[in-house]
Structure 1
């Protein structure tokens, strides 16, 4: 019934496409909005990760995008849940989240505890705001989805006095597919081994890297395309999608370098580079097996 109502009221073509997309067991719908902003759909649940489609960063800091986002905050009326990886404004975007909170009042939001006060100021219901817990997986929507936050090092692992991590990624189990969205992170000791044991199907990894000159300008970095390719290969994922390479001129990378690195040095995993606004349906090996 919820999906039927969404099909009737949605107006923007991208949002309508998401609402009308039904994916069978063992698959997941994925839409790329740029930077690390993606939308996932499976089992009738629509999840926004780091939704960043407003112009607030440009208005407040003069940081200009290289392109217009494929949708705008006022069109987002179908968010069942949002996941935020950290407080930087190209990940926790007040201009986008303010309207998501207003237009999707039943939706949940999960983020590091470091972000809670900012999210409440934006307008999220404290009862629907969940702290990202790196110690255990949490279940939502009658256990249709399980989510575990993973510590991220952007560029260091940082915790508060309660041991809560400032930066996280997420491992999601949805519709028979296990997905790792790394957030902003370097590869740190223990990450590869931990991820290998998770038996992840699809990894979404940043590739923009870091260097001396960007660090001097206050730009915090991530793994580069070589590190991301080796991580994907070493943790044994079926497929990988590169992220965080396209939005700002001073902090970009060529995704073709990532594809070449995989092709030349690693037999697997499969790789897909998403166009902004593209619908990609990931099909896992489980898709053709009986539940």
Structure 2
């Protein structure tokens, strides 16, 4: 496994979330990259909430849960969707606005299929949101290779999913089925594995995910109210998932999600899992 072949380049970062639920977290120290990582590492950029830009050693760009243009935490450069330059894989964990808001626009701009719960994509296709070729169907347990050196597997998440669509004929919002929420295992040909948990509560099969995929990096929600709070997320990371490193997400953008990075860091205690508190827009190398 990758963690046995090459150590993670990111250093442990302990930083508190900025005061106020809608404000960006405070800036941590940038992790140092190893010589190998500087040229062949994985770049991970948090864009607020559950949106990430992941760049592989081969230059492929993976974007997750793209709520960007109206996200209060997204850096201005990434609110301009053309700034991505390329997108090779576009992953959506479920149908809620703060995860899918800019998916259709990115799919059309970069001619990249939306990888999402199959029933969500079927709903979007029926409504004419995107053409069928940009809405391929898959389900939990399914694996696809959307770009060279990249393998994506849909895994379970414990959450709801609806899709709210503005009907152009009536000008009114309509609520449609969004399938079942999922998480993602992103595996690179180097062996490096990322577990993007999506929106989720704690569930026992996180242990199965941890044992089966042995993620090097986990991206987990900590905001509470809609997802795990810091205490639940820390317990899941320490006892069930057991990655090498973890980045907290899904906090700071919604006043109802009051969990903070500082609370998560404290709940992680002296765990050997490296806690990396990202600042939106900061490139972290692994």
Relative to the length of structure 2, the TM-score reads: 0.72
Contiguous gaps of at least 5 residues in structure 2: 1-36, 162-177
Trace 1:137-286 onto structure 2 (pairs within 5 A). 137-142=143-148, 144-154=149-159, 166-176=180-190, 177-210=192-225, 221-234=226-239, 235-262=241-268, 264=269, 266-282=270-286
Contact 1:138 1:148 (C-alpha < 8 Å) held by counterparts: yes
Closer, same or farther: CA 236–127 of 1 in aligned 2, 3 Å? same
Trace 1:9-20 onto structure 2 (pairs within 5 A). none
Q: Choose between structure 1 and 2: higher helix proportion.
A: 1
Contact 1:102 1:123 (C-alpha < 8 Å) held by counterparts: no
Q: Hey, what does 2:97 align to over in structure 1?
A: 89
Q: How many residues align?
A: 228
Contact 2:155 2:185 (C-alpha < 8 Å) held by counterparts: yes
Structure 2: how far apart are the matches of 1:136 and 1:198?
14
Say which structure, 1 or 2, has more relative contact order (CA 8 Å, 6+ apart): 2
Q: Hey, what does 1:285 align to over in structure 2?
A: none
Closer, same or farther: CA 74–270 of 1 in aligned 2, 3 Å? closer
What per-residue deviation string (whole Å, max 9, x for no partner) do you get for residues 201-242 of structure 1? 0000000122xxxxxxxxxx2111112112222222110000
Contact 2:151 2:187 (C-alpha < 8 Å) held by counterparts: yes
Q: Hey, what does 1:108 align to over in structure 2?
A: 113
What per-residue deviation string (whole Å, max 9, x for no partner) do you get for residues 79-138 of structure 1? 112000000000010xx2343133212x23200023214544575442242323212322
Contiguous gaps of at least 5 residues in structure 1: 1-21, 56-64, 157-163, 211-220, 283-291
Structure 1: how far apart are the matches of 2:181 and 2:72?
25
Q: Hey, what does 1:51 align to over in structure 2?
A: 66
Structure 2: how far apart are the matches of 1:72 and 1:118?
26
Structure 2: how far apart are the matches of 1:73 and 1:240?
28
Trace 1:23-102 onto structure 2 (pairs within 5 A). 24-25=39-40, 27-42=41-56, 43-55=58-70, 66-67=72-73, 69-70=75-76, 71-75=78-82, 76-93=84-101, 96-102=102-108
Structure 2: how far apart are the matches of 1:178 and 1:23?
18
Relative to the length of structure 1, the TM-score reads: 0.71
1:78 Cα shift? 1.5
